[in-house]
Amino acid sequence: MASIDTAALQRAIDELPRRFPGPGGVVAVVKDGAPIERYAWGFANLETHQPFSNTTQMPICSITKQFTCATLLSVTADPSELDPLTAAMLPRLAGGTPSTADLANNQSGLRDYWALTVLCGAKPEGDFRPADAATLLGLTRSLHFKPGTAYSYSNGNFRLLALALEQHSGTEFGDLMMARVVGPAGLPTASFVTETGALPGGATGYEGTTDTGWRPGINRLHWSGDAGLCMSVDDLIAWECYIDRTRDDADGLYNRLSAPVSFDDGSAASYGRGLAQSTRWGRKMSGHGGAIRGWRLQRFVVPSERLSVAIAFNHESDPHAAAMQVMAAALGQTVAPVSSDLAGAKRFLGTWLDRRWGLLLDVKINSDGTLVASYDGSAEVLSLGADGIARGLGMMLSPTTGGLRIRRPADAIDSEAEPFGALAIAPAPDLAGRYYSGELEADLEIVNAGGAWFASFHGFLGTGPLMPVTPVGADVWRLTCHRALDAPAPGDWTVQVHRSVDGKIASITVGCWLARNVTFLSVLI
């Protein structure tokens, strides 16, 4: 077990306000079952001058998912008991229905319902009620993949778990979680709050930057299972201490939560029961992040070191990078990126299309010399090996005769992307029109406004804003979505045009990492 480099740890914490500027934040480090660092800075509310403190209540967003799964494990030793309940909430789904375990492990294949709200016409600051969630989930007819065969992050998985637990127990989910997990773990001020616009304690999350200034983030979402817990950093510390107290109990709650998970073929999966599993610096690590408009959080635990780090911002800086910086300092490690030689990396550069998943892959060299790939909506730093393979923490890219091979073992993805370099980019004038998705019962409208192309969606959530679309290659477009109902937005969408033998548009598929290959058929008007 490594000793803590206290001086390096203190330097890393002292740097947080400068490296991640914003209204406020808080960090905690727990070692051997006791807090060794607890530091808050800035303001929880700029309007009221409320300082950020160790007792400031904040939404922990998707970190809630592990508590949802902990509630599941506390209610039943056999999660399959809930399978009929979750299946009943997907009445239109054809083929295999995901099991309760598939939901908890993000192996259901369900598209993320927050991403789908964009395609159903949601406005970025719109309301989203429980009835809307039931409607959207109930529309599901198809999946990304056969349940149990791959990974895809989906918030809807955890809403389904919460609703099934309510039906199974006869108790409202928030009350059930508080009684079964939060209370026994001894989290003194934690509460379950489903309404994002009614957070306790007066803290506010902010959008903006140091250049633009800060404005309160507007959230009108309703959560259940996918998020909803509010905590202070003292509550997060209590959770880490509870984990440490139960570390030697094989049947302890966190040990069961963090137990290894596999796909149906027996290969190891890196996500299970609301926890992302990874290996860093030769040590196993588990944790999860959280995000909503104006808030960003991350927690990690390294069991072998009895070491945990939790960090939260009431602004939209990168908590993963911040928490990793603190963890690395505590362990005497580094997170410095590795620069790549431009000459060796140039064969990877550019925009590529993975037709199987309907996703664009963008590879570029950053100003700091690092090779970066964007495929799942986030940027991953790659290092180029002597074998010609570019490797990141979760992705490997290797050249093929026709393009690039994409391997993401944790997602069970092994695919190929084709280049666009040799393709002429010319907007097809027949793209303008209206297209209908039978699965979502929604329309896609593409308009050409004097050479400027835009798209919007119309569905049961209303009419969404116009978003720019730009050509990437022949019959392949990029639809840019900077703001959405959930924050962060799902990112750019790939728009693929599919033509019949006579050259007319037969259909369009729209997809992003969270919601791939949604089909819209051409509509004659």
**Same domain flag for 92 and 202:** yes
CATH number for the domain spanning 518: value is: 2.40.128.50
In a domain, 124, yes or no: no
Residue 124, SS3?
A: coil
**Same domain flag for 168 and 264:** yes
CB-count exposure of residue 450 (10 Å: 0-12, 13-18, 19+): exposed
pTM tops 0.85, yes or no: yes
State how many domains the chain has: 3
**Same domain flag for 149 and 261:** yes
Do the Cβ atoms of 385 and 377 come closer than 8 Å?
A: no
Q: Which of 31, 53, 65, 308 is catalytic?
A: 65
Q: Which of 297, 331, 365 is the last residue of a domain?
A: 331
Q: Which of 390, 419, 448 is the last residue of a domain?
A: 419
In a domain, 402, yes or no: yes
Q: Which of 31, 62, 224, 286 is catalytic?
A: 62
**Same domain flag for 439 and 497:** yes
Three-state SS string over 457-525 comes to: EEECCEECCCEEEEEEECCEEEECCCCCCCCCCCCCEEEEEEECCCCCEEEEEEEECCEEEEEEEEECC
Among 462, 464, 460, 454, smallest CA distance to 484 is for 464
Per-residue pLDDT of the chain (525 residues; tens, 9 = 90+): 667 888 899 999 999 999 999 999 999 999 999 999 999 999 999 999 999 999 999 999 999 999 999 999 999 989 999 999 999 999 999 878 999 999 999 999 999 999 999 999 999 999 999 999 999 999 999 999 999 999 999 999 999 999 999 999 999 999 999 999 999 999 999 999 988 877 889 999 999 988 999 999 988 889 899 999 999 999 999 999 999 999 999 888 899 999 999 999 999 999 999 999 998 888 999 999 999 999 999 999 999 999 999 999 999 999 999 999 999 999 998 876 565 566 778 889 999 999 999 999 999 988 777 889 999 888 888 888 888 898 888 899 999 988 999 999 888 899 999 987 544 556 677 889 999 999 999 999 999 999 899 999 999 999 999 999 998 888 899 999 988 888 788 889 999 999 999 989 999 999 999 999 999 998 755
In a domain, 127, yes or no: no
Instruction: Give the per-residue pLDDT at 426.
Output: 61
Amino acid identity for residue 377 in this structure: G
Report the C-alpha gap between 134 and 142 in whole angstroms: 16
Instruction: Give the per-residue pLDDT at 1.
Output: 60
Instruction: Give the per-residue pLDDT at 342.
Output: 66
**Same domain flag for 219 and 312:** yes
Backbone angle region of 212, left / alpha / beta, with phi > 0 → left and psi within -120 to 50 → alpha: alpha
Look up 62 and say whether it is catalytic.
Answer: yes
Among 167, 149, 269, smallest CA distance to 224 is for 167
Q: Which of 419, 448, 476 is the last residue of a domain?
A: 419
In a domain, 502, yes or no: yes
Instruction: Give the per-residue pLDDT at 515.
Output: 95
**Cβ atoms < 10 Å from Cβ of 284:** 14
**Same domain flag for 159 and 242:** yes
**Same domain flag for 322 and 369:** no
Instruction: Give the per-residue pLDDT at 425.
Output: 58
Domain with 351, as residue range(s), is 342-419
CATH number for the domain spanning 203: value is: 3.40.710.10
Cis peptide, bond prior to residue 429, ω within 30 of zero: no
Q: Computed over its alpha carbons, how large is the radius of gyration of the chain? A: 23
Report the C-alpha gap between 154 and 65 in whole angstroms: 11
**Cβ atoms < 10 Å from Cβ of 8:** 17
Instruction: Give the per-residue pLDDT at 385.
Output: 83
In a domain, 63, yes or no: yes
